[in-house]
Structure 1
Amino acid sequence: MLIQLKIENIALIEIIEINFEKGLNIITGDSGSGKSLILDSLNVLFGGTNIPLKHLIRPGKNHCAIEAKFTSSLQINNWLSSNGFQSISSVLNIKRISSRKNNKVLSKYSLNNLSINKKLLEELGRLLIDFAGQSDTFIFDSQDKRRLIIDDLCSQELRDTSAKIKNIWEESQVLKGLMNKKMESLRKQEENNLVIKQMLKSLEEADLNSSKEILELELLEKKLINNLEISNSIQSTLGNLNNFNHDEPSVALLINQSIKNLNRTAEFDLKIENFREKLLHIQTYVEELILGLNLYIQDIDNHESNLSDIQKRLFFLKNLERTFSLDLPQLIEKRNELRTYFLRTDQDNEISNLENQIKQLQTNLNSLFSTQSIERKKIAKELQDSVISTLRNLGLQNANFVVQFSECKPSGDGIDNINFLFSANPDQKLAPLSNVISGGEMSRFLLAIKSSISKKPNTFFLDEIDNGLSGKSLFSLVELIKEISKKQQVLCITHQPFLAAGGLAHFKVSKKVINGITYTSISKLITKKQRKHELMELIGGGSLEVNDYASRLLDQAA
């Protein structure tokens, strides 16, 4: 329960401190006095946005603070332990301090003087306090909150099932993300392999054998281009060496004649024989030289037709170098590299394994989804019956309420899309709440559903939930609020004297203007006289009849 609330520099409030009690706590005051600031401050304390940041801090001030003390419970202690808070106290001191700096509002949150983040505080707030008022549209605004209403009523077994679903769902999403990454990696790898294969094919078809092939071909090309000049030079040389025209004696002819001359005198002197032998060797060498030159000329004649092929090959090889930005030796090296380069990977197997894991998780999820949905529908039926019964006790005799289920896209929350359908009259078709419910009906519906789902030992804050009701409907609502307050603390803002008289504690909110500045204050009405006076103001008048009626209300409530 909420023990104490301190508010400093919030909107119209300069500073107030309220000490609440068990059971029903009534809050009254004139319209515009600032009653709802108490509810809004509690909402803001737990990260809510009932008060916009720009209006949060009181004009002329640079900071504000909201501090609330709650009694703890076993449920709260378990939550604290599971969220890393080791020191467990019987009293929770929750504080929010907000400061204005450079036109921005910055806030710090603490729990028993330990820093706590906003998300955790919002979660804790849902365990400590619950709000309801005619402006509370969460029931038809939020699919998540409607689902949460059903899940909060479920057994521990189903809570465990829901926890398993969340864990398995998260695991499957992680695996799906990993599989998608691997599939994308494999796709890029296959694209890369295709490029590699095309390059290897081009290099293989090029038939690269020698790293010096271009140099050799260039020399051969140069030679073939200059074959005429080479041929003429060789023919001239051959003419000098072996010309049978006696008018122009050749080397071979002169050597032959010289040998004949020495043959006639060699027998007279051994030295001449030696000279003759040397000439014979020279003759043999010249004949070999002539033979070689003749063969070379024949070779030139045979290669003249190959010049075109050589030039085509040179063009092809140089174009290959330009295409891959590599010279011929590097191209040969790259080809040899690519012959052995095939990305050997187990990614296909990894993807297959991931698909199998995801499939197994999905099978488990489908089974758990079915179990969860069946249990939710059972709980929803119980909630329907409870709400309808309460609504009829509150004067809506013909009211009907149905929790409608439809299947939605699977998620960590299951496969159930939940809607609340309502009709107040027998000739009215069931329709979503927002389409058909009036303000007075909404008050009773909210109280009916809140009382039906109220299993937590928290604080229940009602904001003018009795607005627009009177007579039997009001009486039934007050009785229900009193019944709820026996099990948990209820804070109730009201303008109804009949409800205000039933409070175990009564607080009055007042507003006054001093030197042009508005101040909101709150005081606890302790004596019967103080309470009777406030009831008379709510009734409207100071006549004897009003005085008697206020007294009777207090006596009946006692």
Structure 2
Amino acid sequence: MLTKLYIKNFTIIDTLDIDFSSGFSVITGETGAGKSIIIGAIGLLLGQRADSKVIKDGTEKCIIEAHFDLSKYSMKSYFDDNNIDYEDSDCIIRRELSTNGKSRSFINDTPAPLSVLKSIGEKLIDVHSQHQNLLLQHDDFQLEVVDIIAGDSKDLDEYSDIYTKYKDAKKEVQRIKESIQNKKENKDFLRFQFEELNKANLVEGEQEQLEQTSSTMNHAEEIKNSLFNTDTSLSDEGNGIIQKLRYSAAQLHNIEDVYPEVKELAQRIDDSYIELKDIADEISTRCVNIDFDPKELDEITSKLDTIYSLQQKHHCTTVKELIDLRESINQQLQDIENGDDILLDIQNKANMLEQKCIEKAKYLSAERRKSSKIIEKDVLKRLQTLGLPKVRFEIEFQHCDLCNNGNDKVSFMFSANPGTQLQQVSQVASGGEIARLMLSLKAMISGAVKLPTIIFDEIDTGVSGSIAEKMARIMQEMANNDRQVISITHLPQIAAMGTTHYKVYKEQTSTGTKSNMKKLSADERIKEIAQMLSGSTLTKAALQNAKELLNQI
């Protein structure tokens, strides 16, 4: 439950630091005193979008902090799932807004993303304001109420998981259909491209080899002349380098016995002779092998022209890229041939998932119809207590196409008077009747969902007198079930039923108008309720009436 609320520099609130009690509490105050401001501050703690305009003029930052006692609620898993330290006796949620537009959120002094703040905040407080009555106009909300009472969240999650897979499979079926159609339209063109590439008999690395061979053949005469001249200078019988080296080595060997210092030099010349002789032999062989074959050159030139043409046509730079393209086109052609089989497989998968969805949706529908009878009985009982003795309320089911929550469309059908036809609640219920219906639903839901704190923001709009008192008793009943209920009200009948009474008020100071809030004493409470009864002028009758209302608790 909410144990403490601290607000600083928020709109016209300078500093608010107030403790809250368990059970049923009420908050009153004149119109414009700042009750909605406090709700707005709590909304920011629940992850609502922030605007730096809410920061009090003349200040740099506003702070909103709430303390909760969660010792009676099993909520540790929510904190563990988000790696947040858990303090059951004093859980602290804080949000800070700066004039530079920055917003920071903390849970138990640990920085937390706004999404986490919102997720955990929704588990701590439920704020029901007047505009939430409009939810009754939405089918999704009505179905959500049925699901809460049915307690089918696990089955609904399982269905949602299957349905997501089913939708993905349907999208894949459509994608494959479109892909097959597009490829079939391009089949002849793809076949032509493949045959053109395949006919080229491409081999990875051959381009470089062909280019080198072509260059060699185009310069064959020049190469042969250079090789012949080199061979002559090395191996000429009379004047070749090799013969001269051999002669020089022999001269040194002749004197190495008498002049040992030349022995090493003679050996080095021998080594050079052997190396040059080997080089000369290889050059001689290459000279013989160099030949110009015009037919072979034409074939090489033709193959290179084919490669260059394909590279330009397909925007490739290497033969490997052309080979990869050929294989890719071949795979596309195979996919076209096998496309119908692939489509059949994924279609069968989609059909299987659809059948699972239908079966799960059928089970959900059966559980919902069971719970709808419980809801009808509970709501009718509460509405009759709230001054609608002839009311009729039924939950109508319609079958619809599979969607993310099954195949049920739910409508709350309502009639407040005998003889009138049941119609959708949003079309026939008055503001006061909708307020009573929403309170009945909230009371029922609160028993199924263990929310620590529920705040009703003027849910009593459109009702008065004894009906207001009965609404207050329902809120009391909710608060007696380990739940904190806070009602912001303008009705004295509801204000008198609260265990604790708070007042929001404005005061004029030297720095401007400020909004504040305080817990009322017994005497202050009598005066506050009396003013709600009679206005600003307190009368003895109003005071006596206030005392009588308080004695009804």
Match of 2:541 in 1: 545
> Is the Cα contact below 8 Å between 1:402 and 1:421 reproduced in 2?
yes
Identity rate of aligned residues, in percent?
A: 27
**Alpha-carbon offset, residue 46 of structure 1:** 0.9
**Alpha-carbon offset, residue 367 of structure 1:** 0.3
**Alpha-carbon offset, residue 35 of structure 1:** 1.3
**Alpha-carbon offset, residue 25 of structure 1:** 1.0
Correspondences of 1:62-211 after superposition (within 5 Å): 62-72=60-70, 73-85=72-84, 87=86, 89-101=88-100, 105-155=101-151, 158-198=152-192
Number of equivalent positions = 431
**Alpha-carbon offset, residue 491 of structure 1:** 0.6
- Does 1:370 pair with 2:369? no
> Is the Cα contact below 8 Å between 1:440 and 1:469 reproduced in 2?
yes
Match of 2:441 in 1: 449
Distance 1:56 1:339, change over 3 A: closer
> Is the Cα contact below 8 Å between 2:55 and 2:61 reproduced in 1?
yes
**Alpha-carbon offset, residue 128 of structure 1:** 1.9
CA distance in 2, matches of 1:132, 1:408: 30
Correspondences of 1:321-360 after superposition (within 5 Å): 342-343=330-331, 344-345=334-335, 349-360=341-352
Match of 2:33 in 1: 33
Distance 1:351 1:545, change over 3 A: same
Distance 1:187 1:31, change over 3 A: same
**Alpha-carbon offset, residue 163 of structure 1:** 1.3
- Does 1:505 pair with 2:500? yes
Distance 1:92 1:154, change over 3 A: farther
**Alpha-carbon offset, residue 192 of structure 1:** 4.5
**Alpha-carbon offset, residue 198 of structure 1:** 4.2
Distance 1:48 1:141, change over 3 A: farther
**Alpha-carbon offset, residue 546 of structure 1:** 2.4
Secondary structure, aligned partner of 1:170: helix
Task: Give the aligned residue type for 2:548.
Answer: R
**Alpha-carbon offset, residue 525 of structure 1:** 1.2
The correspondence for 1:381, drawn from 367, 373, 376, is 373
Task: Give the aligned residue type for 1:496.
Answer: L
Task: Give the aligned residue type for 1:371.
Answer: Y
CA distance in 2, matches of 1:126, 1:407: 31
CA distance in 1, matches of 2:493, 2:2: 24
Task: Give the aligned residue type for 1:24.
Answer: F
Distance 1:83 1:377, change over 3 A: farther
Match of 1:434 in 2: 426
CA distance in 1, matches of 2:84, 2:52: 32
Match of 2:402 in 1: 410
CA distance in 1, matches of 2:399, 2:181: 35
Distance 1:147 1:388, change over 3 A: same
> Is the Cα contact below 8 Å between 2:84 and 2:107 reproduced in 1?
no
CA distance in 1, matches of 2:328, 2:503: 89
Q: TM-score, normalised by structure 1?
A: 0.69
Distance 1:86 1:19, change over 3 A: closer
> Is the Cα contact below 8 Å between 1:134 and 1:439 reproduced in 2?
no
Superposed CA offset, 1:274-304 (max 9, x none): xxxxxxxxxxxxxxxxxxxxxxxxxxxxxxx
Greater shift in the superposed pair: 409-418 or 72-81: 72-81
The correspondence for 2:387, drawn from 374, 384, 395, is 395
Task: Give the aligned residue type for 1:534.
Answer: E
Secondary structure, aligned partner of 2:150: coil
> Is the Cα contact below 8 Å between 1:133 and 1:443 reproduced in 2?
no
> Is the Cα contact below 8 Å between 2:473 and 2:497 reproduced in 1?
no
Secondary structure, aligned partner of 2:105: strand
CA distance in 2, matches of 1:339, 1:121: 53
Task: Give the aligned residue type for 2:461.
Answer: N
Match of 2:267 in 1: none
Distance 1:535 1:340, change over 3 A: closer
CA distance in 2, matches of 1:505, 1:171: 51
Secondary structure, aligned partner of 1:361: helix
Greater shift in the superposed pair: 128-137 or 340-349: 340-349
Q: Which runs of 5+ in 1 are unaligned?
A: 206-317, 327-333
Task: Give the aligned residue type for 1:7.
Answer: I
CA distance in 1, matches of 2:397, 2:10: 42
Correspondences of 1:215-226 after superposition (within 5 Å): none
Secondary structure, aligned partner of 1:398: coil
Task: Give the aligned residue type for 2:386.
Answer: L
**Alpha-carbon offset, residue 360 of structure 1:** 1.6
Distance 1:129 1:200, change over 3 A: closer
Secondary structure, aligned partner of 2:92: strand
**Alpha-carbon offset, residue 6 of structure 1:** 1.3
Task: Give the aligned residue type for 1:16.
Answer: L
> Is the Cα contact below 8 Å between 1:502 and 1:554 reproduced in 2?
yes
The correspondence for 2:470, drawn from 476, 483, 487, is 476
Match of 1:17 in 2: 17
CA distance in 2, matches of 1:23, 1:193: 75
**Alpha-carbon offset, residue 324 of structure 1:** 11
**Alpha-carbon offset, residue 201 of structure 1:** 8.1
Match of 1:460 in 2: 454
- Does 1:45 pair with 2:45? yes
**Alpha-carbon offset, residue 204 of structure 1:** 12
CA distance in 2, matches of 1:76, 1:463: 25
Secondary structure, aligned partner of 1:18: strand
Secondary structure, aligned partner of 1:521: strand
User: Which structure has the bigger radius of gyration?
Assistant: 1
> Is the Cα contact below 8 Å between 2:489 and 2:495 reproduced in 1?
yes
Match of 2:6 in 1: 6
Distance 1:138 1:98, change over 3 A: farther
Task: Give the aligned residue type for 1:539.
Answer: L
RMSD: 3.5
CA distance in 1, matches of 2:328, 2:73: 68
CA distance in 1, matches of 2:59, 2:398: 51
CA distance in 2, matches of 1:550, 1:21: 22
Distance 1:468 1:143, change over 3 A: closer
Distance 1:415 1:118, change over 3 A: farther
Match of 2:218 in 1: none
**Alpha-carbon offset, residue 24 of structure 1:** 1.0
- Does 1:61 pair with 2:59? yes
Task: Give the aligned residue type for 2:348.
Answer: N
CA distance in 2, matches of 1:99, 1:186: 56
The correspondence for 2:520, drawn from 514, 525, 539, is 525
CA distance in 2, matches of 1:171, 1:53: 39
After the TM superposition, list the runs of 4 or more consecutive aligned residues in structure 1 that deviate by more than 6 angstroms: 200-205, 321-326, 337-341
Task: Give the aligned residue type for 2:545.
Answer: Y
**Alpha-carbon offset, residue 523 of structure 1:** 1.0
Superposed CA offset, 1:228-249 (max 9, x none): xxxxxxxxxxxxxxxxxxxxxx
Greater shift in the superposed pair: 449-458 or 26-35: 449-458
Match of 1:486 in 2: 480
CA distance in 1, matches of 2:465, 2:328: 93
